[in-house]
Amino acid sequence: MRTWIIPYVKMHYKGLLASILIGLLALACGAALMFTSGYLISKSALRPENILMVYIPVVSVRAFGIFRAVFHYLSRLTSHNTILRVLANMRSRLYKTLEPQAAFIESRFQTGRILGVLSDDIDHLQDLFIRTILPSTTALGMYGIVVACLGWFDIIFALLMAVYLFFIVVFIPILSLWSSRKRTALIKNGRYDQYHILTDGLLGIKDWMIAGKPNDFMKQDTMKDQSVAMVEKRTKNQQQIRDLFNQLIIGAMVISMVYWSSTMVAEGNMHVTLIAAFVLVTLAIAEAFLPVSEALEQVPEYTESISRLEALEETEAGKVTPKPNASLSAVPRSVNILLDQVAFQYPAFDKQVLKDVSISIPQGKRIALLGKSGVGKSSIVQLICGSYAPTKGTVTLNGTDATAYGDSLFDMVSILNQRPHLFNTTIANNLRLGNQQATDQDIVEAAKKVQLHDYIKSLPKGYHTMMEESGQIFSGGQQQRVALARILLKGSPVVILDEPTVGLDPKTEADLLTTIFSTLENKTVIWITHHLAGMKHMDEIIFLEDGYIEMQGSHQELLATFQRYQNLYYLDVPPSIRKMVQI
């Protein structure tokens, strides 16, 4: 609340104030229309001799009618314009919060789904402004105006009306919100459980079928649904009673208004033509106050979004981002990477991932990193990229700490990972992301190298084809080729391959790897993999286990020295099959 709402209210107070004021004008015109109409017909009923006597009300009735519509229109436009400005600010803030965490965003949030959730959260905040903050504030403003206007005639009566309206605008909405908070939580938890049950049901549908008990699932689901529906029904009942009660208060206001105005007239304090005017206006302004209850009802739905966004920045605040202090005047052609007695554990985790690892990677060397999942292969990549600093030892590129480079490090190092993102723009723009200065000729060259040129040419719009949702145009293997072309255009001397072939079938995998290694001639290649296919082509193979290097050496060396490597290798390449091929 404090960080995601108030700053924006302050920043955009002009726009917000404008839309509230114009909104108030619209309401006032609507009220004035009924007031003047009531006055007009009462005045006319007194049969003034000259029509000019009612000339002003006649004109203003029409004017109020027109202005009411105009102001309403303007107020909606102003509020939407302001909110969209707020949205733009919030979006760039969310982006800036996430940006420093980019390199490990996948490991923190597991999937890209959470990113969608965060983006939706921002949209929810937009609704908070449009549906709750603006209408409630406008109603409060109208409240003030109404009481002030009546106070001009009679302070005591104004106070009475203030009490009535206090119920509608403040007391009942808050009471209703407060009394339903337990049920709101129940519904939320119930929905969450239900979501799990359904997901279990549909993702595990084959298991339910094989177990022969789809009916059990249906029963479980229906029961949960009923219990949630019961609570929802009670909430609904409460809302209906609340709305009825609000209406009755308005009825009471009308009666009080009649009593007050007729008494004023009887006592000679007010002209008789104003009775109808006051009563009609009471009926008309009710529309301004009733929506408050509904507006506040939405609040619990926003709190979750707000707390999620706030949590994001709190964890961010706790982390020390290393300050870059080395900048590259020119990208070096040769990069020597050195991990020296490195130990590492993730902040806020007590498990040491790497205990003592030393690796030297001179320019042009090809090494493969192997080991079970969770052994720290990706940690080594993050250390080389300077996303984290080692807890012990040093990680240096050409003698300078990796963390000191900041983003300029990526001029030297490129990464091809499991899911390179293809942006929703043209193919050419996607490739050009590797190097903004690349000419069309460069782009075609790169596409040719990764063997995509012919395919791209076969598309109706060629290089200007829009990517749409990635995957519709390019298969998994082709997406990797696009990313590879990007890396080639970037031309960095070091390329890290972070399991780029996971999920591809062996044929596609073999073709892709062939292209990768033929195009990355003379570059340093660090390849994280979980299979042994292709190990022959690597200069060095490193097996990690329990935070140490378990085996290290070339394919031939390992095969000759380690029984374990032999076992694994023969699993991948069974001797019997091998023999058959060699016949």
User: Binding to other proteins (CB under 8 A): which residues in 183-202?
Assistant: 191, 194-196, 198-202
Burial of 44 (0-12, 13-18, 19+ CB in 10 A): middle
Position 539 contacts other proteins (CB under 8 A): no
Q: Which of residues 47-106 bind other proteins (CB under 8 A)?
A: 47-48, 51, 54, 57-58, 61-62, 64-66, 68-70, 72-73, 76-77, 80-81, 84-85, 87-89, 91-92, 94-96, 98-99, 102-103, 105-106
Distance, CA of 286 to CA of 463 (rounded, Å): 60
Indicate which single residue of 263, 269, 334, 522 sits in contact with other proteins (rule: CB under 8 A).
263
**Which range, of 135-143, 261-269, 392-400, 554-562, touches other proteins by CB under 8 A?**
261-269
Q: Which of residues 137-166 bind other proteins (CB under 8 A)?
A: none
Position 455 contacts other proteins (CB under 8 A): no
User: Encoding tokens for residue 561?
Assistant: 């020295």
Nearer to other proteins, 339 or 513 (CB): 513
Position 255 contacts other proteins (CB under 8 A): yes
Position 578 contacts other proteins (CB under 8 A): yes
Nearer to other proteins, 320 or 581 (CB): 581
Residue 426 DSSP code? B
Sign of the CA dihedral running 278, 283, 285, 289: positive
- Contact (Cβ atoms closer than 8 angstroms) between residue 402 and residue 395: yes
CB atoms within 10 A of CB 576: 7
Position 424 contacts other proteins (CB under 8 A): yes
Indicate which single residue of 23, 135, 376, 434 sits in contact with other proteins (rule: CB under 8 A).
434
Residue 464 DSSP code? G
Closest contact distance (angstroms) between CB of 388 and other proteins is 14
Distance, CA of 451 to CA of 184 (rounded, Å): 57
- Nearest one of 402, 363, 524 to 103, comparing CA atoms: 402
**Which range, of 160-168, 178-186, 251-259, 299-307, touches other proteins by CB under 8 A?**
251-259
Number of chain positions touching other proteins (CB under 8 A) = 158
Closest contact distance (angstroms) between CB of 121 and other proteins is 12
Which single residue is written with the structure tokens 């004008």?
A: 25
Looking only at the bridges linking them, the beta strands covering 524-528 and 366-370 are parallel
Closest contact distance (angstroms) between CB of 528 and other proteins is 10
Closest contact distance (angstroms) between CB of 88 and other proteins is 3
Q: Which helix (H) or strand (E) holds 354?
A: strand 354-361
Q: Phi-psi region for residue 207, left (φ > 0), alpha (ψ -120 to 50) or beta?
A: alpha
Looking only at the bridges linking them, the beta strands covering 354-361 and 337-344 are antiparallel
Closest contact distance (angstroms) between CB of 395 and other proteins is 17
- Contact (Cβ atoms closer than 8 angstroms) between residue 23 and residue 75: yes
Position 465 contacts other proteins (CB under 8 A): no
User: Encoding tokens for residue 480?
Assistant: 């990797």
Position 108 contacts other proteins (CB under 8 A): no
| Radius of gyration, CA atoms only, the chain | 35
- Contact (Cβ atoms closer than 8 angstroms) between residue 424 and residue 475: no
Position 514 contacts other proteins (CB under 8 A): yes
Q: Which of residues 270-299 bind other proteins (CB under 8 A)?
A: 272, 275-276, 279-280, 283-284
Position 399 contacts other proteins (CB under 8 A): no
Distances (CA, A) of 43 to 49, 275, 476, 478: 11, 11, 80, 81
Nearer to other proteins, 406 or 462 (CB): 406
Indicate which single residue of 11, 155, 459, 573 sits in contact with other proteins (rule: CB under 8 A).
573
Closest contact distance (angstroms) between CB of 364 and other proteins is 18
Closest contact distance (angstroms) between CB of 152 and other proteins is 22
User: Encoding tokens for residue 568?
Assistant: 């694994």
